[in-house]
Amino acid sequence: MPKAETTIDIAAPPEHVFELLMDPSRLGEWVTASRSVSGVPDGGLKVGSSFTQRLSLARSEFAVRWRIDELERPRLAVWSGEGPKGTTAHVRYEIEPAGDGARFRYVNEYELPGGFIGNVAGRVSSRAAERAMKSSLKKLKRLAES
């Protein structure tokens, strides 16, 4: 299963960073691959909440249905996602205090269908996903610190 993982320090309170991360209406402000979201529940996200996100990555546009599996405000959110043709993803947000700000650890593991061919495609898409992840986290840092 391909995996993308990184950590970034953000000069903003952990609670502020967490609230920004957990607001689907703001995904387009920092997730470079995000094109739109729909089906966001009223009243905020909780365990079991889900919504659909349209993404564009490696010249492909597709939808992922995200569901929150674990939520411990303001330090942890664990998501599972279902995409096209049996693609799955597991994303983990971890936030901890770091000096006067927050340290955000992001982990994304995903599985593509297709056995060997899917594994090869996964290596190619993994590079694109890693580039998008690093770009997104730079945008998140600027947004949270502004």
State pLDDT tens for residues 52-102. Answer: 999 987 788 899 999 999 999 999 999 999 998 888 999 999 999 999 999
Residue reference for tokens 């986290």 = 137
1 confidence band (pLDDT: 50, 70, 90):
low
What does 87-137 look like in DSSP terms, one character per residue?
A: -EEEEEEEEEEETTEEEEEEEEEEE-SSHHHHHHHHHHHHHHHHHHHHHHH
Pairing of strands 60-72, 34-38: unpaired
Q: What pLDDT is stored for residue 36 in this prediction? A: 97
How far apart are the C-alpha atoms of 23 and 68, rounded to whole Å? 13
Q: Angle at the Cα of 124 (from 7 to 56), degrees rounded to 5?
A: 75
pTM, rounded to two decimals: 0.86
Residue 103: left (phi > 0), alpha (psi -120 to 50), or beta?
A: beta
